[in-house]
Structures are given as structure tokens and as C-alpha cells.
Homo-oligomer: A and B are copies of this chain.
Amino acid sequence: MTIEPIAWDGDRLRLLDQTLLPVEEAWLELTNHNEVVEAINSMRVRGAPAIGVAGAYGIALAALSSAGSDLDALLTDLRSAADQLIATRPTGVNLAWAVERTLAAAQAAGGLEEARQVALNEALRIQREDIDGNKALGQHGLELVPERATVLTHCNAGALATAGYGTALGVVRAAVEAGKQIDVVATETRPLSQGARLTSWELLRDGIACRLIVDSAAGPLLQRGDADLVVVGADRIAANGDTANKIGTYTIAVLAREHGVPFYVAAPTSTIDMSLPSGDGIAIEERSADEVTKVGGKRIAREDVQVFNPAFDVTPHDLIAAIITERGIARPPFVDALQDLTR
């Protein structure tokens, strides 16, 4: 069975520590929201939908561990926990969406114990919906995948980036389950190498053929005609279809157009931020220079070099052929299509 990186276990959250893959498959046990904040900051859990689910459980853990003696005190604690959780990663939108949704459920409760229970139930529901949504997304994506196809993907928008099954890799899994002949090319995805560490790990684990390339080999791969389509995930999609995703996505989109290869985004509708007219408004997280100057703790550049390390980039909507969601496929003009899907 395809891996699910997040599991609720009675009174605690179990998370697969993705920083240790593929060398080690270690599970963390978290019992309060501060540990969830640390896990998101350190990218032990990553991928916009998975971060959303983890954030929802962060609220559930805050509710269970709050010392508040009445509902008001509890809700004050939850608001504080929500703010801390949402502040961890600015670019994705699912995190804020899932945290606020879980908090709102608790706010609607009639009393202290009920609030604790509904917060947990809401987190469980968000997790279930994410997996179900990804399977629906995969089914919608099927029509875009030829019977025999090489799929180029970037970073990890797989089971490990979600509650399970994946978004971009959900489309791949649905195609494989439908009997199509699919192989995947995964880009390494520097600086944190999620393609090398995670995408190739989860695909091979499920018996899906996977080739690994360094990020800059996507150019000659497409030049050789060795990819039929590109599918990537998303961290935030603006109302016009502009899509923030892992650094390197924009470059692949430009190369795909250069070679006439369709470029698709696969993401749950919770990734769509209709409050932003375009990608210009998306905050791009810049991360530590150490991610670039060190690899696996080993220094590869002088300590005094300046570094520009944006974690994400924005792909303009005109490079995107379609956006695949659990509710259907949005095609240009995205302004109307995304409005319809999120109505």
C-alpha cells in the first residue's frame, strides 16, 4: 500500500521524518503543537497538503494539551497555536486553510470537552478528505495521460507531500492503476533534494518506474523528446492560475513550452487562493544559506559567499495547460475556471 506519512494514534500524532529518507524510515511521535511547529520548520513534514493536515493536527494537539479550564481559555490557546503554526511557512495556503478550519470547528463547540473532540474530528476529516480528494484528482487527471507516457515531475508532490496518494503522483498512480504504461522522470530538486530522496523512494516502493536526473538535465531530456508531459504540485495558486511551487518549477515550465510538452499543475482546491488576483501577491519564502552551501552537513562553498535561496518560484498561468483538482480540470482562461471550481 502507498505510504501515508501522517497518522493519528490515540493521543498523539505520528509523522514520518522525511529529512531522514531514503536512508532511514523513522517515525516521530508528537504530543503538542510546538513539536508540530518544529517538524514543519525543519521540513520533517513537507508538501503543502501534508503541512495542512499536520497543522490541523497541531490544533487538535493544542486542544488536547491545553491547560485552559474553560472554553474561552482553550480557544485563546488555540488561536495562539494557530498563529504559530501558520507562521512557519508563508508560501503555501493549505496550511492556513486547514488550521483555520480546525480552529473554527472548535470555536463552534458548546463546551471545553466538546471543543477538544471536534478539533480532533476536524483534523481527522481533513486528513481523510485529502486522501479521497487526491484519488478523485487522479481520476480527473487520467484523460491528460496517454496510454504510454513518460511523466516529468519536480520536487515531491506524492503520497509524502499529502495525507496519501499524492497530487502530481496521484495522477501517475491513477494512470498506472488504469493500466497505462507510465514511467516517471524525477528531478533531484536542490537544495533539499526532495525528488532524489522522496519521489524516487515512494515510486520505486510502489513498483513504478522512475529515472532520476539533476535539475538542469530536464533541458536535454525535453530536447531529446524524452518526456510526454510534465505534472507538478502547487503551494498556492492565484485566481488567474499563476502557481507558486518549489523552486525550479518555473524553469521546467519554460522548457516544456519550448519543446511543446504540456505542463500540468495538480493540486487540491484548498491550494487555490481566490483572494490573490495574480502570483505577484504570493510571498516567497527565502530559506537559510546553509541549504545551498552545505549538502548533508558537508560544506560545498565558502562560508562567506552570499546566497539567494528562494524556496519557491511562480509559474505564470500562460505556461500552464491545465490545473487538475479533486473537483475537475481547470483550463484557460483560469480566472473563470478556478472561480467555478471553488464556488
Chain A residues at the B interface, C-beta cutoff of 8 Å:
22-23, 185, 187-191, 193, 196-197, 200-201, 204, 209-221, 223, 247-248, 250-251, 254-255, 258, 284, 292-293, 295-296, 298-302, 304-310, 313-314
Residues on B with beta carbons closer than 8 Å to the beta carbon of A310: 217, 220
> A298 vs B296: C-alpha distance in the bound complex, in angstroms?
7
Sample 15 A-B pairs with CB under 8 A, ordered by A number.
A193-B295, A196-B292, A204-B305, A211-B305, A211-B307, A211-B308, A212-B301, A213-B292, A213-B307, A213-B308, A216-B248, A219-B250, A254-B255, A295-B298, A296-B300
Main secondary structure of the interface of A (DSSP, over half): mixed
A296 in contact with B295 (CB, 8 Å) = yes
Residues on B with beta carbons closer than 8 Å to the beta carbon of A295: 193, 295-296, 298
Residue of B nearest to A189 (CB): B216
Smallest CB separation, A1 vs chain B (Å): 18
B201 in contact with A214 (CB, 8 Å) = no
> A195 vs B258: C-alpha distance in the bound complex, in angstroms?
26
Residue of B nearest to A22 (CB): B302
A188 in contact with B190 (CB, 8 Å) = yes
B298 in contact with A298 (CB, 8 Å) = yes
> A300 vs B297: C-alpha distance in the bound complex, in angstroms?
12
Q: Which 5 A-B pairs have the closest CB atoms?
A: A216-B248, A219-B251, A196-B301, A296-B298, A190-B214
Copies of the chain in the assembly: 2
> A99 vs B189: C-alpha distance in the bound complex, in angstroms?
38
Residues on B with beta carbons closer than 8 Å to the beta carbon of A221: 308
Residues on B with beta carbons closer than 8 Å to the beta carbon of A201: 301-302
Q: Which of A187, A201, A293, A300 has most chain B Cβ within 10 Å?
A: A300
Residues on B with beta carbons closer than 8 Å to the beta carbon of A250: 219-220, 223
Residues on B with beta carbons closer than 8 Å to the beta carbon of A300: 22, 188, 193, 196-197, 296
Residues on B with beta carbons closer than 8 Å to the beta carbon of A185: 308
Beyond A197-B301, A216-B216, 15 additional pairs, beta carbon < 8 A: A190-B215, A191-B214, A196-B292, A201-B302, A211-B308, A213-B309, A214-B247, A215-B215, A216-B251, A216-B313, A219-B248, A223-B250, A251-B251, A295-B298, A296-B296
> A196 vs B305: C-alpha distance in the bound complex, in angstroms?
9
Residues on B with beta carbons closer than 8 Å to the beta carbon of A298: 295-296, 298
Smallest CB separation, A318 vs chain B (Å): 12
Smallest CB separation, A13 vs chain B (Å): 27
A220 in contact with B306 (CB, 8 Å) = no
A301 in contact with B254 (CB, 8 Å) = no
A212 in contact with B251 (CB, 8 Å) = no
B306 in contact with A212 (CB, 8 Å) = yes
Residues on B with beta carbons closer than 8 Å to the beta carbon of A302: 22, 200-201, 204
> A284 vs B217: C-alpha distance in the bound complex, in angstroms?
12
> A190 vs B211: C-alpha distance in the bound complex, in angstroms?
16
Residue of B nearest to A296 (CB): B298
Residue of B nearest to A253 (CB): B219
Residues on B with beta carbons closer than 8 Å to the beta carbon of A212: 292-293, 301, 305-308
Residue of B nearest to A217 (CB): B247
Residues on B with beta carbons closer than 8 Å to the beta carbon of A215: 190, 214-216, 248
